[in-house]
Structure 1
């Protein structure tokens, strides 16, 4: 492990290397995708990216927590949190098992990948 974080610029550069559009357009595309994911999560909807995983908004109830240093109890307010659930394909790739689906395969095939929010009233 290298400990390197992938940044927006890294994502932009990857799009630039793969697609070949100008860097400014690649940056705009990356920003557009990230903004769409963020806006969908703010609405409380799930974002499911095929062959990658799902970002799910969960509601946590109010609870009593404890300061680990002092042992003092404190009330933790209710809030919403984002949880990521990786797909089976991503889990296989992380564990070194081939899955057959990669970004390069999708790009070469000319297939378009659809980013669609998933909510209670939308069935897939």
Structure 2
């Protein structure tokens, strides 16, 4: 899904929302998420997942062509950890499903008729 598709989904779901207002809402949300990550803050969206910044320490790597040692500086990288509901929805739904209600409702429970892996 692209930013444009997200804006389109908002305008379809909320009739009173104009295209411009939906674009501004999406931009505001993405800016807020990005700014929080830049400042090292964790973002937790219950039922969906959490975004956080992972610190990678400096290390010595190898140039694959020459084999020479190369110093790789430390860096911070954004990461995403999906929530339980999202993991289960992705695991249970076929990839071709296109409806907007892919996430299970919190009141729904998985059947306990055996494990997912068939073990």
TM range, normalised to the smaller chain? 0.7 to 0.9
Structure 2: gaps spanning 5 or more residues: 94-102, 107-119
Does 1:90 find its partner at 2:86?
A: yes
Does 1:15 find its partner at 2:20?
A: no
Decide which of 86, 101, 105 is 1:100's aligned counterpart: 105
Hey, which bits of structure 1, 4+ residues long, moved more than 2 A?
67-72
Higher Rg of the two aligned structures: 2
Decide which of 55, 59, 65 is 1:63's aligned counterpart: 59
If asked which structure has higher relative contact order (CA below 8 Å, sep 6+), I would say 1
Structure 1: gaps spanning 5 or more residues: 1-5, 102-124
CA distance in 1, matches of 2:85, 2:65: 41
Any idea what the Cα deviations from partners look like across 1:77-110, whole Å, max 9, x if unmatched?
A: 0111111100010000101167325xxxxxxxxx
RMSD: 1.5
Q: TM-score scaled by structure 2?
A: 0.75
Any idea what the Cα deviations from partners look like across 1:59-91, whole Å, max 9, x if unmatched?
A: 111101112333222111011111110001000
Count residues in correspondence: 96
